[in-house]
Amino acid sequence: MMGGNMNKMMKQVQKMQQDMVKLQEELGNRTVESSVGGGAVKVVASGKNEILSVEIKPEAVDPEDVEMLQDLVRAAVNEALRLAQEMVSQEMSKLTGGLKIPGLF
């Protein structure tokens, strides 16, 4: 009797793995956007934690204050990456029913 339950469980695990691969592909095509400084700097990131674009409005470029622009870009990138990770985590938890699986996310 125990073998039947084990086979059923293994099939469930395999299906979950297939679903996760599919979800990771889908998340790679999804994007999040971060905007800081009243829209002075916008960053778009993918679900693969890749920065897809950085948009800087001309008025954000002040040769006398390069540090401010650097801070805005850093803040926008960090926020975009945080949003991307949050999106992935939420979608993965839907798939796993909240079960944390080490090494996957």
Provide the percentage of residues in the chain whose pLDDT is more than 70: 90
Do the bridges between strand 51-56 and strand 41-46 make them parallel or antiparallel, or are there none, so unpaired?
A: antiparallel
| Residue partners of 18: CB distance under 8 A and separation at least 6 | none
CA atoms within 13 A on the CB side of 24: 10
Q: Which domains does the chain have, with CATH numbers?
A: 2-96 (3.30.1310.10)
pLDDT for 105 equals: 47
Q: What is the mean pLDDT of residues 97-101?
A: 64
Give the model's pLDDT for residue 5.
Answer: 83
Residues 6+ apart with CB under 8 A from 90: none
Query: pLDDT per residue over 34-69, tens digit each?
Result: 999 999 999 999 999 999 999 999 999 999 999 999
DSSP-assigned beta bridge partners for residue 35: 42
Centroid of chain to Cα 53: 15
